[in-house]
Amino acid sequence: MYGGCIMEALCRNGRIKRLLKNVIESVKILMYCLKLSWNASGVYTMLRMFCSIVPPLMGIMGSFLSKYLLDLLADKLGTGKVPEVFFLLIGGICTIKILQNLSDKVEQYIQIIHNEIMNEKLAMMLMQRSCSADMEYFDNAEYYDKLQASARDSYSIAQILWNAMSFVGACFSFVGVFVVLWAAKPIYALLLTLTAIPHGMIATRYTKTLYNLSMEQINAERKKSYIQGITLEKRYAQDIRLFHIGKLLREKYYNIWKEVFTKRKQVLRKKTVVTIVFSCLPGIITVVVGMDIGLRIFAGTASIGDYSLYMGMMEQLLSAFFIMTYSLTNVHDNKLRITNFKSVLASKNKVLDSGMREVAQVDEIVLDQVSFTYPGTKKCVLNNVSLRFRKTEKTVLVGVNGSGKTTIIKLLLRLYEPDSGRILVNGVDIKEYRLESLRRNFSVYFQEMGNYCMSLYENVIIGDAEREDEQAVYKALEQSCCGDILDKAIYGLNTNLMRMFDKDGLELSGGQYQKIALARCLYRRSTVLVLDEPSSNLDPKAEHDIFEQIRQLSDNKLTIFTSHRLSNVSLADRIIVLEHGCVVEEGTQKELLEKNQRYAELYRYQSEKFNISESKKGSENDTDSID
């Protein structure tokens, strides 16, 4: 009953409540880390625990053996007799020293290996999360900051365990030493502990301040790395030379660095001054206690062994206390890091993969009054769009830049969810399909599609990673007109793209890289072919050949493509014209030209340009190739 009253009284006190909350949180975080560590390697987790607890206990035993040895030496001084116990004590001290040395080295080894294993495990978890996170997270600077911080701080999980175990070891040592000192003279133990506490508190406070500062500065750090990355990356190298922006970038980098550095320096300077002041106190007490024991030895109330024991114990008490506060502050510091790591892993996707249906073949896609605004923005990018794509007709989306063509494709793939309206595949809402099953049907070429510093073969099979078919790779490369690239590839399909990791790597032109990305798309077994500006970087011949291939390939697939070049539009059975996120016209080329509205206007604009350039060359009879 009294216990309950005391607890109630304590809980009424806000500070105690906060402390309790902190303790509970810390324990939860510790359990989380322990679970991760155990999953990564149970054996190393056990070994680590063992290595943290045993050495402090050996330290206490060593101090006692040294005391007895010194007392024995003082007792037998000049007698000429060597008692057997002398050898036993020497043997004991020697064994402890060897064991301490051994455990020290083994501990270092275990720590390195365990850290490596943990880092791999955590990197995998983070990569998995990053690969499955909603696309909208990548438009979100705050998420990027957190992701970056998690990648940087993931080592902390291994660290927090280490610190927690060091804390437990130090507690053992502290209690043992405290009891011995208390038994000798309580004032020694009390004074030493009391003078060490402020130092511990200051260290804890500054660790938290420094961590909060590093979180505040992570955006600036990210910008700094981004700017540095620009100067190191090949794709910006030409711009830097052409526009002479090296100096500008260095200045930008320096300004951000200076701001970050100045704030950190201020906090670190304060921390150093304050900790120097407070760390002197325990040292002074040690000297005073040493003097007291010395005087007692002269008075004959203490032995030389006592001097060694108590001075050693005081050293150990201080060291245990500092390890305790250091580990505790690190646990606290890492607790914040791990909370961040946990929150990144626990971030929820809006695009839920909760559908159960499978789709083996897409025959029809319907957008039913779809509206969409990119998360975190205000502008409505698609406004009440209703569309139908059928397997039996090739559809082209036409519209000026920013009219919403690519966005429609992203919504079909469920890279984002519409704000309102539905998207149906074969009459069923796409949310009802398993995400993987839905996406499996799509072979998509996006304008910003990257290539990889891997072999030509890998660059193609990435499009359908479950299938390794060399003949099909050759076929896809042929369909996307990559003959010229294969001619240059000295190791055939095994030739690496780019020279970042390989001196014999293939460096290609923008158009050639585009053809490889197209080959990847054509290699994929799919029932829907989506091509977003597939010929933007291609020369007229390659463009003509590729569209000819697409015409053949798309005969038995639902095909959607976007193009600025109305010359390619003739391939389509149906044209959809978008403007400011709305469908403004729909029909065949003939119908839309007859209608003489927006499409006809765009068409005339391009054909007039062409006719002018053609008439300049004296030829007026070819109107097929328009750009």
Looking at beta carbons only, is 139 or 292 nearer to ligand ADP?
A: 139
Structure tokens at 185: 């003279």
Which amino acid is present at 195? T
For residue 321, which of 272, 268, 281 has the smallest C-alpha distance? 281
The span from the CA of 311 to the CA of 288, in Å, is 11
> Is 517 in contact with 523 (CB distance < 8 Å)?
no
Structure-derived torsion over alpha carbons of residues 92, 95, 100, 101, reported in degrees to the nearest 10? 140
Looking at beta carbons only, is 95 or 384 nearer to ligand ADP?
A: 384
Give the 3-state secondary structure of residue 365: strand
Minimum distance of ligand ADP from residue 389's CB (angstroms): 16
Stretch that binds ligand ADP, among 356-364, 373-381, 502-510, 612-620 (CB under 6 A): 373-381
Looking at beta carbons only, is 182 or 374 nearer to ligand ADP?
A: 374
For residue 227, which of 245, 250, 243 has the smallest C-alpha distance? 250
Q: Is 406 in the site for ligand ADP (CB under 6 A)?
A: yes
Structure tokens at 390: 């059928």
Using CB under 6 A, which of 402, 483, 492, 540 touches ligand ADP?
402
The span from the CA of 265 to the CA of 256, in Å, is 14
Structure-derived torsion over alpha carbons of residues 64, 70, 72, 76, reported in degrees to the nearest 10? 180
Minimum distance of ligand ADP from residue 382's CB (angstroms): 8
Q: Is 405 in the site for ligand ADP (CB under 6 A)?
A: yes
Cα–Cα–Cα angle for 117, 329, 9, rounded to 5 degrees: 125
Q: Is 418 in the site for ligand ADP (CB under 6 A)?
A: no
Stretch that binds ligand ADP, among 33-41, 201-209, 405-413, 616-624 (CB under 6 A): 405-413
Minimum distance of ligand ADP from residue 403's CB (angstroms): 4
- Phi-psi category of residue 139: left, alpha or beta, with phi > 0 → left and psi -120 to 50 → alpha: alpha
Q: Is 377 in the site for ligand ADP (CB under 6 A)?
A: yes
Q: Is 432 in the site for ligand ADP (CB under 6 A)?
A: no
Binding characters for ligand ADP, 114-143, by CB under 6 A (x = yes) = -------------------------x----
Q: Is 514 in the site for ligand ADP (CB under 6 A)?
A: no
Using CB under 6 A, which of 47, 122, 381, 583 touches ligand ADP?
381
Q: How far is CA 252 from the centre of its chain?
A: 25
Looking at beta carbons only, is 99 or 380 nearer to ligand ADP?
A: 380
Minimum distance of ligand ADP from residue 455's CB (angstroms): 31
Interface with ligand ADP: number of residues (CB under 6 A): 12
Using CB under 6 A, which of 325, 403, 441, 479 touches ligand ADP?
403
Q: How far is CA 131 from the centre of its chain?
A: 10
Q: Is 399 in the site for ligand ADP (CB under 6 A)?
A: yes
Structure-derived torsion over alpha carbons of residues 442, 448, 454, 458, reported in degrees to the nearest 10? 20
Give the 3-state secondary structure of residue 566: coil
- Locus of tokens 């494709």: 409
Minimum distance of ligand ADP from residue 529's CB (angstroms): 17
Looking at beta carbons only, is 218 or 409 nearer to ligand ADP?
A: 409
Give the interface with ligand ADP as residue ranges (CB under 6 A).
139, 374, 377, 381, 399, 401-407
